[in-house]
Amino acid sequence: MLRYFFIGLGLFLVGLFAVAGFRGQKSGKPPIEIFPDMDHQPKVKAQVPSSFFSDNRGNRLPVAGTVPIGYEAPRSKDNPFPDEGKYNGVRFTAGTDYLNTGRFGDQWGTGIPLPVTAELMQRGKERYQIFCAVCHGASGGGNGVAGQYGLVAIASYHQDRLREMADGEIYNTIVHGKNTMLGYGDRIPLNDRWAIVAYIRALQLAQTATINDVPAGERAKLEALPQP
Amino acid sequence: MANFFPRWANWIPLKLLLIVMVLGAVVTGGIWYYFTPKYTNVGYMPAQPAPFSHAIHAEQLGMDCRYCHSHVEVAGHSNVPSTQTCMSCHSQIKAQSPKLAAVRASWETGTPVQWVRIHKAPDYVYFNHAVHVNRGISCHSCHGQINEMPVVYQAQPLSMAWCLECHREPEKFLRPPSEIYNLNWRPASAQEQLAMGAQYKKEWNVNPPVTCGGCHR
């Protein structure tokens, strides 16, 4: 009797492992919920669909024609956005001043409207390396890794047109993109955009800088680095 | 009168007891082994609408996590990128690839790509990404070696015991703020990790909640 029991048990365990598998095994099947309790509550969380709405979007788009409090609707006649109409008008400028649009009236302005400190430059460098370096390259030569995989005509910052370009126009390129470059306004908040502009200016200066532009106290540090 | 029961019948109660005990052990072991997020959740690897590979984008191209998961350090929720994020490159790179059909369809119609969600905390748990990544906890501690995964799978159970393991001893996981998004960073040794972690814990006054209200609010 015992023998049959253990043979049966052994077969059962082999079968169990064959069907149920082991811990950590890769599987495309949705996780089993042993006690679902209140795991799924009928509330809307970020980026979760909701069957309450007919299009199943949990995150609602603003109703056409509405403007969030504190924002201004884009001006219709001289709208600076190249992609107007694409989002059915659902896109807002947070104000119409230089800080928000990079322009005075209908002219590009120049100058960084935030205090340019070491922290701002550091921030600009970090943000530049996250968002821009894949295409524009770490030093802004337009030779980022995406170029090696078939992204064509990435602009280099080291050409006269971009050296002379107004800060406001570069700001606008970050927010709304330009030609084949799509905008980053949805991912880079206002202060970071200006920090990136400041850092791009530093990259441009660095191309033509000489050792005499380095403060005397810092020169030894630079000279200690291995020469290329 | 002859013996009504044969001699071996004397063993029946003992054998039954043994069987019950073995069955009990098997059932207990089975529940211990299977009725846990370590089995039910770890290794969940659904097929995605587009075969997006972190191994290509994060490791081979060296892209920063924040290029795509751009709100992870400012919001509780770590966003999955918008279609525009992909189209920045894929309007030209592999623009005709059938693997990107779902992304192009989304770009043309304006309906989002329906990425299948992998990591999920139950709705009664409060979880916040920003407090973790800004306080020295790397994506690696909770999501595993994402940058080497051609297809994302869940590497950690995300169970309550697992959260608490770290909340009780965060010094085992704290790392320099510059290495949070570098998933290939490793401490030189376990002792070094403890020493460094203990120092950060003191300096930054790290104090993760272990009371119920911290996570069930």
| A150 closest CB neighbour out of B61, B88, B93 | B93
Q: DSSP 3-state assignment of A103?
A: strand
What is the Cβ-side half-sphere exposure of residue B171, based on CA atoms within 13 angstroms? 15
Write down the domain spans for chain A.
Answer: 116-209
Write down the domain spans for chain B.
Answer: 44-80+115-215
Does B44 sit within 8 Å of A24, measured CB to CB? no
| A146 closest CB neighbour out of B38, B93, B153 | B93
Each residue's pLDDT tens digit, A116-165: 999 999 999 999 999 999 999 999 998 999 989 988 889 999 999 999 99
**Across chain B, how many H-helices and E-strands are there?**
11, 0
Q: What is the pLDDT of residue A11?
A: 95
Each residue's pLDDT tens digit, A15-49: 998 988 888 888 888 888 888 888 888 888 888 88
State mean pLDDT over A169-175: 91
B121 at A interface, C-beta within 8 A: no
State mean pLDDT over A195-214: 89
Does A37 sit within 8 Å of B123, measured CB to CB? no
Q: What is the pLDDT of residue A83?
A: 43
Size of interface A-B (CB pairs under 8 A): 109
CA distance B184 to chain A (A): 17
Quote the CA–CA distance of A180 and A135 in Å, as a whole number: 12
Does B63 sit within 8 Å of A134, measured CB to CB? yes
Contact predicate B133/B73, CB 8 Å: yes
The per-residue DSSP string of B136-162 comes to T--HHHHH-SGGG-SS----S---HHH
Does A39 sit within 8 Å of B124, measured CB to CB? yes
| pLDDT string in tens for chain B (217-residue length) | 677 888 888 888 899 999 999 999 999 999 999 998 899 889 999 999 999 999 999 999 999 999 999 989 888 899 999 999 999 999 999 989 999 999 999 999 888 899 999 999 999 999 999 999 999 999 999 999 999 999 999 999 999 999 999 999 999 999 999 999 999 999 988 999 999 999 999 999 999 999 999 999 8
| A43 closest CB neighbour out of B33, B85, B123 | B123
| A24 closest CB neighbour out of B43, B71, B123 | B43
Each residue's pLDDT tens digit, A56-109: 888 887 777 676 665 655 544 445 444 444 443 334 556 677 888 888 877 888
**Cβ within 8 Å of residue B110, ≥6 positions away:** none
Contact predicate A159/A140, CB 8 Å: no
pTM: 0.91
| A27 closest CB neighbour out of B43, B80, B91 | B43
Q: Which residue of B has its CA nearest to A33?
A: B40
Rg (CA), chain B: 25
Q: Which residue of B has its CA nearest to A135?
A: B89
**Chain A positions in Cβ-Cβ contact with residue B112 (cut-off 8 Å):** 57
Cα separation values, A224 from A210, A219, B12, B150, B177, Å: 16, 9, 87, 42, 27
**Cβ within 8 Å of residue B59, ≥6 positions away:** B147, B148
Does B82 sit within 8 Å of A150, measured CB to CB? no
What are the b/e assignments for A59-87, b being 16+ CB within 10 Å?
eeeeeeeeeeeeeeebeeeeebbeeeeee
Mutate one of B8, B14, B70 to test the A interface: name it (highest A CB count within 10 A).
B70
B28 at A interface, C-beta within 8 A: no
Q: Which residue has the tokens 């001289």?
A: A78
Does A149 sit within 8 Å of B93, measured CB to CB? yes
Phi, psi of A72 (to 5 degrees): -120, 145
CA distance A212 to chain B (A): 31
Quote the CA–CA distance of A186 and A100 in Å, as a whole number: 14
Sort strands A177-178 and A181-182 into parallel, antiparallel or unpaired: antiparallel
Which ranges of chain B would DSSP assign to H, the alpha helix?
12-34, 37-40, 54, 65-68, 83-90, 101-109, 129-133, 139-143, 160-168, 190-203, 212-215
Q: Which residue of A has its CA nearest to B87?
A: A182
What is the Cβ-side half-sphere exposure of residue B122, based on CA atoms within 13 angstroms? 18
E strands, chain A, are: 103-104, 107-108, 177-178, 181-182
Q: Which residue of A has its CA nearest to B16?
A: A2
Contact predicate A177/A82, CB 8 Å: yes
CA distance B15 to chain A (A): 7
Predicted-assembly ipTM surpassing the 0.90 threshold = no
Q: Which residue of A has its CA nearest to B82?
A: A186
Cα separation values, A172 from A99, A127, A136, Å: 11, 16, 17
In the CATH scheme, what architecture does the domain A116-209 have?
A: Orthogonal Bundle (1.10)
**Chain B positions in Cβ-Cβ contact with residue A2 (cut-off 8 Å):** 15, 18-19
Q: What is the pLDDT of residue A94?
A: 61
Q: What is the pLDDT of residue B33?
A: 92
Contact predicate B79/B69, CB 8 Å: yes
CA distance B111 to chain A (A): 9
The candidate with the shortest Cα–Cα distance to B66, out of A142, A173, A156, A134, is: A134
CA distance B152 to chain A (A): 10
B204 at A interface, C-beta within 8 A: no
